[in-house]
């Protein structure tokens, strides 16, 4: 049974208070562009978590993205966890390149906020109690720490969108585990058990590998736009494109951008349904895998998974955004 379970609503008149928690490289940067440039978003903060590439590089990439969006000094960047909760950090430089942006560098000298990312998440959730959306597009370390530090944190959040896991058991960093969950499974376990009022998953398989692929023709369309943003995109995306192509995916994948966009645009979602989601912490071959139980009762369900989006509309949105002069 597929149905639209999401009844929450934002009006056109009031932009959505938003935080993006990110391991800023490649698609994370494009996701930030969505949050920075879409008038439906009121981006309150960017919080950085250990993930894709070196931590300091991720911070630089966030400031580079702010610069491209023409919003330096308007949205604070908060430094979060520099290691997963329990296990050592695992990078994704094999996927996104050493720096995740194809050698592009910021020219601004803006500094991160002094407040820790976890404190900022807790504060913003309190200040916007019942209204704040958090889009988590990296490992869930910062979100788990906020849950542990403030017993009211989860209840204060309107919606948590998580990019991570797979409904069908197929991973990308191991046969069974998707990268964001694999890097910090203990954090993911804390988050799915935290009792957030509304959690929506943008998963790797099948959603990302079917509905977010930008093939050669799509990349050529973006390149032909020849704007600062499109040139940034093509260069920052090149390593991911090559990696995903070699992995047989047909082009680059854009789950992080989709995660921000689904928080803003409910019409993009074609199907979603409730699940009981658990994280495998002990499996010999499956640590970091997500288990999506579709037979869960309403009382057992702890999340909704987006199962299908309008892929053409998503690409057209991204092309339109990258075609603008920031
Ligand atoms: C996720 O892993 C990261 O490398 C990407 O940024 C994305 O968030 C996909 O598995
Ligand atoms: Ca990411």
Non-local (6+) Cβ contacts of 274 within 8 A are 5, 296, 298, 301, 303, 304
Mean per-residue pLDDT of the chain: 95
| Residue bearing the CA closest to ligand 1, atom 9 | 179
Residue 11 lies in a domain: no
- From 20, 22, 27, 204, give the residue whose CB has the most ligand 1 atoms within 8 Å, as the site to mutate: 27
pLDDT band at 325 (very low <50, low <70, confident <90, very high): confident
Parent domain of 171: 16-322
Is pLDDT above 90 for 64?
yes
Whether omega before 206 lies within 30 degrees of 0, making that bond cis, reads yes
Task: Provide the pLDDT for residue 11.
Answer: 44
Which ligand is nearest to the Cα of residue 243, counting in written order?
Answer: 1
Is pLDDT above 70 for 259?
yes
Verify whether ligand 1 is closer than 6 Å to residue 100 (CB atom). Answer: no
The mean pLDDT value for 229-247 works out to: 98
Q: What is the tens place of the pLDDT at every residue in 273-283?
A: 999 999 999 99
Verify whether ligand 1 is closer than 6 Å to residue 118 (CB atom). Answer: no
Catalytic machinery residues: 254
Task: Provide the pLDDT for residue 209.
Answer: 98
DSSP assignment of 140-155 = SHHHHHHHHH-TTHHH
Verify whether ligand 1 is closer than 6 Å to residue 97 (CB atom). Answer: no
Verify whether ligand 1 is closer than 6 Å to residue 159 (CB atom). Answer: no
Interhelix angle for 216-225 vs 311-323, to 10°? 30
Cα-to-centroid distance, 11 and ligand 1 (Å):
30
The mean pLDDT value for 102-107 works out to: 98
Residue 62 lies in a domain: yes
Residue 3 lies in a domain: no
Residue 6 lies in a domain: no
Residue 153 lies in a domain: yes
Residue 5 lies in a domain: no
Number of domains in the chain: 1
Least confident of 3-12, 35-44, 50-59: 3-12
The mean pLDDT value for 82-104 works out to: 97
Which ligand is nearest to the Cα of residue 90, counting in written order?
Answer: 1
Verify whether ligand 1 is closer than 6 Å to residue 28 (CB atom). Answer: yes
CATH number at residue 307: 3.90.245.10
Return phi, psi of residue 19, to 5°.
-125, 135
Which ligand is nearest to the Cα of residue 170, counting in written order?
Answer: 1
Cα-to-centroid distance, 299 and ligand 2 (Å):
30
Cα-to-centroid distance, 28 and ligand 1 (Å):
8
pLDDT band at 213 (very low <50, low <70, confident <90, very high): very high
Strand partners, 277: 292
Is pLDDT above 70 for 8?
no
Residue 8 lies in a domain: no
Task: Provide the pLDDT for residue 59.
Answer: 98
Contact predicate 122/149, CB 8 Å: yes
Residue 282 lies in a domain: yes
Contact predicate 97/58, CB 8 Å: no
Verify whether ligand 1 is closer than 6 Å to residue 52 (CB atom). Answer: yes
Is pLDDT above 50 for 290?
yes
Buried b (16+ CB within 10 A) or exposed e, 301-314: bbbbbbbebebeeb
Q: How far apart are CA 167 and CA 325, in angstroms?
A: 38
β pairing state of 290-293 and 269-279: antiparallel
- CB atoms under 10 Å from CB of 176, counted, come to 19
């Amino acid at each position: 049974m597929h149905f639209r379970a999401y009844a929450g609503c934002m009006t056109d008149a009031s932009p959505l208070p938003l935080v993006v928690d990110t391991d800023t490289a490649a698609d994370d940067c494009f996701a930030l562009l969505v949050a920075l440039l879409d008038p439906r978003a009121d981006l309150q903060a960017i919080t950085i978590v250990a993930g894709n590439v070196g931590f300091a590089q991720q911070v630089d990439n966030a400031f580079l993205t702010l610069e491209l969006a023409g919003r330096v000094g308007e949205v604070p960047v908060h430094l979060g966890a520099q290691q997963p909760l329990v296990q050592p950090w695992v990078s994704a430089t094999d996927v996104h390149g050493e720096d995740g942006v194809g050698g592009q560098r910021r020219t601004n000298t803006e500094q991160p906020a002094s407040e820790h990312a976890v404190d900022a998440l807790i504060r913003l959730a309190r200040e916007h109690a019942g209204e704040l959306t958090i889009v988590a597009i990296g490992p869930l370390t910062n979100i788990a720490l906020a849950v542990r530090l403030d017993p009211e944190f989860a209840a204060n959040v309107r919606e948590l969108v998580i990019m991570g896991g797979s409904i069908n058991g197929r991973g990308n960093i191991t046969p069974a585990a998707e990268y964001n969950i694999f890097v910090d499974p203990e954090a993911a376990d804390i988050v799915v058990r935290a009792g957030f009022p509304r959690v929506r998953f943008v998963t790797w398989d099948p959603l990302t590998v079917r509905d977010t692929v930008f093939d050669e023709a799509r990349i050529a369309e973006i390149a032909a736009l020849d704007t600062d943003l499109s040139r940034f995109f093509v260069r920052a995306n090149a390593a991911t494109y090559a990696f995903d192509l070699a992995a047989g995916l047909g082009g680059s994948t854009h789950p992080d951008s989709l995660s921000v966009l689904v928080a803003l645009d409910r019409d993009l979602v074609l199907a979603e349904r409730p699940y009981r989601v658990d994280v495998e912490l002990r499996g010999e071959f499956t640590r970091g895998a997500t288990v999506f139980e579709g037979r869960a009762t309403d009382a057992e369900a702890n999340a909704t998974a987006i199962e299908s989006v309008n892929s053409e509309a998503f690409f057209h949105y991204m092309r339109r955004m990258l075609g603008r002069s920031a």
